[in-house]
Amino acid sequence: MLRALLLTVSVVAIAHAELCKPDAQNAFKVRISIKTALGDNAYAWDDNEEYLFKAMVAFAMRRYSSKSTTQISNVLLCNVTDRVSFWFVVTDSSKNVTTVPGSEVEAAIRMNRNRINNAFLLSDKTLQFLKITSTLSPPVEPSTPVWLIVFGVVLCLIVAGILFLIVSGIQKHKKKNKDSTDRENLEEKVEVTLENGIPCEALDLKPGHINGVFAADDERFTSL
Amino acid sequence: LSAAPEMPKEDGRPKWDNKFQYILSCIGFAVGLGNVWRFPYLCQIHGGGAFLIPYFIALLFEGIPLLHLELALGQYLRRGSIGAWNTISPYLGGIGVGSWMVSVLVSLYYNTVLTWVMWYFINSFQEPLPWSVCPLNENRTGFNEECYESTAVNYFWYRKTLNITPDIAESGKLQWWLILCLAACWLIVYLCTIRGIETTGKAIYVTAIFPYLVLTIFLIQGLTLPGATEGLIYLFTPNLNTLKNPRVWLDAATQIFFSLSLAFGGLIAFASYNPTKNDCEKDAVTVAIVNSMTSLYASIPVFSVLGFKATTAYWDCLDRNIINIINEFDLPEESIMRQNYTSWISFLNSSYPEKIAGLKLKSCDLQEFLDQSVSGTGLAFIVFTQAIILMPGSQAWAILFFIMLFSLGLSSMFGNIEGVFTPLLELQIIPKSAPKELLSGIICLISFLIALSFTLGSGSYWIDIFDRYAGSVPLLVIAFFEVIGVVYVYKIKRFSKDVEWMTGRKLNLYWQIAWRVISPLLLLIVFMAFVTLQMLKPPSYTAWNPKYEGFPMKEEKVYPPWVQAICVLLAALPPVCVPLVALFHLVKQKRRSKDPSSVPPEIFSCQGANS
């Protein structure tokens, strides 16, 4: 009984070793860069993390094929290095000692990439599946490009400035014309007074002349 | 006949609000984009600190004398370039016409450079900056190919901004976004020059002083960046061996000449609005020294930032190699750092040479990154924008940088436009009753329409042509004729008396020697050397061609014959005005003398300042 058990275990182990090795068929290499992603908050990669990884892959397979046949034991990891990198392969429990085709695994991982990344607090760049390319998200484009808005603001300011200067120029011009016509009218009035021969202003301004002949003879007149 | 003018009459000529405005306008005209993106480059390729020797010699014997000559001329004759030269002698009127023509050609393309600056400015308000990421390709599996093979900054400049064609003969279409920015730029120029120096005098307070503020901010920021000291050491370490190369002296002479914006007619126009009793000698020395000091001051932040960029590129190169090695040998993360990279490499190379060879690691050399020198638009729009992405708070730095470039260019545009506006105003192209605003509006509108051709796909190739041919050789020729005209036609003795009357003291012997002998000789040598160097190789340009095998390197192409004809036309047309106008007056004179019933012939006009 014990011998049969040992035999099965060793067969299974050898089978697993056969299935999961570098560059095996339907196997994928994973490269994880925890320190790059998390810096001081980096966690260590140990057996528990490996267990979580197997669980996430199984979860992805289940979600993709929507049949609940994939177990955590179906996911095999091997060749874990210090980098951290390893190979994994998904076996098919219905058919013994075979692996799920790579295309299915790839499609499943692709579909659930976000969930897998978040489970490990990593991103597409720091949790790399070497043969699986990720679809890049397009950059966020606002409906009106930002530069057009800024341009509109700048243009409004410039046009306002130009209009202000032109209008003030016209006003100054009108004022100058009005001033010059006012001055012309004033000069005409002055000329009118001049036409009499004697400038009226001169007459008004000059103090009256005392006729010395009469002024000097105060004593002639009898005092009242 | 030395006719000393009477006390300055009230001739209704506009004048500066104060002396400071005038000095600031001259400084703003002289200090332009070239101080930021050409002088540091020349310093770098011509032996660092050693370049300052030919630079200051050229300043002393070429820059300052010519500057003084132009300012004195404008101030005494109180006319723009065409009027001033017509006053000295109708036969020399061609010098003024040539200056005016060069100002027109340069205004056209200079404002298009400002259009590019404005485009980058309005794009700096986004997060992330549009030149920091590559757009995705159609099926979103990777990045756009052209962008991926070159860099995101290159892609944004050549594709998103210029939409450049691979050949100058292919014009491409008008780029609507550039047309919008061009319209905005010409509107800004119109806003500032609408009433001549009345409005530019106010605008110059901002546009001339603001760049110094930003340069100081960049200086402080630049010095705190990692790698700044490497850049500065690299820039200023003198290599006296380069002085043996005559090319260095030629570059110094041409740089001083173009940096001071001589022979454009703009300086004559500015000085003509001065009161005649003004110390033009002190003004000339002040403007020239401030211009050179600004060039030096600007090269410090530029080289701090370039050193930072080279260091970051070097670190990136190292990091990429490290990641490749770690991935290949499955070593734990952070086992190889930049510090122990060399020891690791030598260890691995001895133990696993084939694997290391298979990785095809790039050799990372800091010196090589520092050696990548760029000048002109490449410095501003490619190298500097890349450095800005790496700084924290990139939007703010980008906005500051592009406003600074815009102010620098705008204050130079004021001088260019003044060189076009003042002579036209004096020639009374429009009736006197029409407002000045109309003339400046017409100038800006016509210039905008012509400059639309620079917004085509091949526009930047044409701007290079204008810069190389219209903005270089004609100025040398015109300046040469200016000096000869003043010294030998107007006569140096008379000119000295005029300057003495204006400044109130006797003219130093230095000016006499410089004007009589040294400056004309230097100009002649520089002109001949310049032309010889241009003729040594057929005129060629580098084109951005995504289909070229060596992409992202630019493809070297030769100009087709019709383009070469245009180059020759641009270079020859302004200088050829000088003999043409002289010939025209000679013919008119001869015809008058032949016809006895006509008005008595004009005497060789020797009047002084009878404005």
pLDDT digits (tens, 9 = 90+) for B555-582: 889 999 999 999 999 999 999 999 999 9
State whether A165 and B188 contact (CB < 8 Å). no
> HEC states along B11-46?
CCCCCCCCHHHHHHHHHHHHCCHHHHHCHHHHHHHC
pLDDT digits (tens, 9 = 90+) for B244-300: 888 888 889 888 888 999 999 999 999 999 998 889 999 999 999 999 999 999 999
DSSP state of B276: S
Whether A204 shows a pLDDT value over 60: the answer reads no
Is residue A121 situated within a structural domain? yes
> HEC states along B445-476?
HHHHHHHHHHHCCCHHHHHHHHHHHHCCHHHH
Give me the mean pLDDT over the B226-237 stretch: 87
pLDDT range class, residue A190, cuts 50, 70, 90: low
State whether B330 and A136 contact (CB < 8 Å). no
Core vs surface per residue B575-585: b (16+ CB within 10 A) or e: bbbbeebbeeb
Question: Does the complex come out with an ipTM higher than 0.95?
Answer: no
Core vs surface per residue B307-341: b (16+ CB within 10 A) or e: bbbbbbbbbebbeebbeebbbebebebeebeeeeb
CATH classification at residue A47: 3.30.70
Chain B residues near any Cβ of chain A (below 8 Å): 118-119, 122-123, 125-126, 133, 135-136, 140-143, 180-181, 184, 187-188, 190-191, 194-195, 199, 326-327, 330-334, 435, 437
Q: How far apart are CA A202 and CA A216, in angstroms?
A: 26
Chain A residues with CB inside 8 Å of B319's CB? none
Q: Are B98 and B579 in contact (CB under 8 A)?
A: no
Q: How many domains does chain A have?
A: 1
State whether B327 and A31 contact (CB < 8 Å). yes
pLDDT at B338: 83
Is residue A198 situated within a structural domain? no
State whether A165 and B199 contact (CB < 8 Å). yes
Do the annotations mark residue B28 as ligand-binding? yes
Q: How far apart are CA A167 and CA A184, in angstroms?
A: 25
pLDDT digits (tens, 9 = 90+) for B13-35: 888 999 999 999 999 999 999 89
Chain B residues with CB inside 8 Å of A35's CB? 333-334
Measure in Å the smallest separation between the Cα of B216 and chain A Cα atoms.
26
Q: How far apart are CA B131 and CA B194, in angstroms?
A: 35
Is residue A178 situated within a structural domain? no
Give me the mean pLDDT over the A65-73 stretch: 77
pLDDT digits (tens, 9 = 90+) for B79-96: 889 999 999 988 999 999
Is residue A43 situated within a structural domain? yes
Is residue A116 situated within a structural domain? yes
Asked which of A137-151, A203-217, B182-196 is least confident by mean pLDDT, the reply is A203-217
Give the percent of chain B with pLDDT over 90.
Answer: 51
Asked which of A200-214, B375-389, B391-405, B458-472 is least confident by mean pLDDT, the reply is A200-214
Give me the mean pLDDT over the B383-412 stretch: 93
Whether A139 shows a pLDDT value over 70: the answer reads no
Q: Are B264 and B103 in contact (CB under 8 A)?
A: yes
Is residue A194 situated within a structural domain? no
pLDDT at A194: 54
The residue ranking higher by pLDDT, B213 or A111, is B213
The shortest CB-CB distance from A147 to any of B123, B143, B437 is to B123
- Residue A102 CB partners (closer than 8 Å, separation 6+): A25, A26, A27, A28, A131
Give me the mean pLDDT over the B55-62 stretch: 92
Measure in Å the smallest separation between the Cα of B435 and chain A Cα atoms.
9
The residue ranking higher by pLDDT, B603 or B408, is B408
pLDDT at B70: 94
CA distances A39 to B265, B318, B475, Å, are 62, 19, 60
B5 phi and psi, to 5 degrees?
-70, 155
Q: How far apart are CA B604 and CA B457, in angstroms?
A: 51
Q: How far apart are CA B76 and CA B70, in angstroms?
A: 10
Give me the mean pLDDT over the B419-444 stretch: 87
Give me the mean pLDDT over the B132-146 stretch: 81
Q: How far apart are CA B221 and CA B213, in angstroms?
A: 12
Q: Are B481 and B93 in contact (CB under 8 A)?
A: no
Give me the mean pLDDT over the A150-165 stretch: 94
Is residue A35 situated within a structural domain? yes
Whether A162 shows a pLDDT value over 60: the answer reads yes
pLDDT digits (tens, 9 = 90+) for B485-499: 999 999 899 999 999
Instruction: Give B167-214 as a DSSP string.
Output: STT------HHHHHHHHHHHHHHHHHHTTTHHHHHHHHHHHHHHHHHH
pLDDT range class, residue B335, cuts 50, 70, 90: confident
Compute how many other C-beta atoms are within 10 angstroms of the C-beta atom of residue B123: 22
Q: Work out the mean pLDDT of chain B and round it to a whole number.
A: 88
Do the annotations mark residue B416 as ligand-binding? no
Q: How far apart are CA B240 and CA B150, in angstroms?
A: 36
Compute how many other C-beta atoms are within 10 angstroms of the C-beta atom of residue B305: 28
Chain A residues near any Cβ of chain B (below 8 Å): 31, 33-36, 81-85, 133, 135-136, 138-139, 146-147, 150-151, 154-155, 158-159, 161-162, 165-166, 169, 173
Give me the mean pLDDT over the B460-472 stretch: 89
Asked which of A204-213, B138-147, B166-175, B361-370 is least confident by mean pLDDT, the reply is A204-213
Core vs surface per residue B485-501: b (16+ CB within 10 A) or e: bbbeebeeeebbebbeb
Is residue A9 situated within a structural domain? no
Give me the mean pLDDT over the B154-169 stretch: 91
- Residue B111 CB partners (closer than 8 Å, separation 6+): B182, B185, B186, B189, B413, B447, B451
Q: Are B267 and B22 in contact (CB under 8 A)?
A: no
Whether A102 shows a pLDDT value over 90: the answer reads no
pLDDT digits (tens, 9 = 90+) for B43-54: 888 888 889 999
State whether B330 and A33 contact (CB < 8 Å). no
| Strands lying side by side in the sheet with A75-78 | A75-78, A85-90, A28-32, A127-129
pLDDT at B8: 45
pLDDT digits (tens, 9 = 90+) for A119-135: 888 888 888 888 877 76
Give me the mean pLDDT over the B148-167 stretch: 90
pLDDT at B20: 93
State whether B126 and A81 contact (CB < 8 Å). no
Note the Cα B374 to chain centre separation in Å.
15
pLDDT range class, residue B7, cuts 50, 70, 90: very low
Q: Are B305 and B214 in contact (CB under 8 A)?
A: no
pLDDT at B116: 95
pLDDT digits (tens, 9 = 90+) for A24-49: 888 888 888 888 888 888 888 888 98
State whether B125 and A147 contact (CB < 8 Å). yes
Closest alpha carbon to B436 in A161, A166, A162: A166
Domains detected in chain B: 19-594 (1.20.1740.10)
N-terminal to C-terminal alpha carbon distance within chain B: 17
Q: How far apart are CA B599 and CA B296, in angstroms?
A: 58
Q: Are B280 and B503 in contact (CB under 8 A)?
A: yes
The shortest CB-CB distance from B140 to any of A36, A84, A138 is to A138
B136 pairs with which residues across the strands? B143
A29 pairs with which residues across the strands? A87
Q: B327, B328, B337: which to substitute to probe chain A, counting the most A Cβ within 10 Å?
A: B327
pLDDT at B406: 95
Compute how many other C-beta atoms are within 10 angstroms of the C-beta atom of residue A85: 19
Look up the domain containing A102 and give its range. Answer: 14-129
Give me the mean pLDDT over the B232-236 stretch: 85
Q: How far apart are CA B97 and CA B205, in angstroms?
A: 30
For residue A84, whether the previous peptide bond is cis, meaning omega lies within 30 degrees of 0, is yes
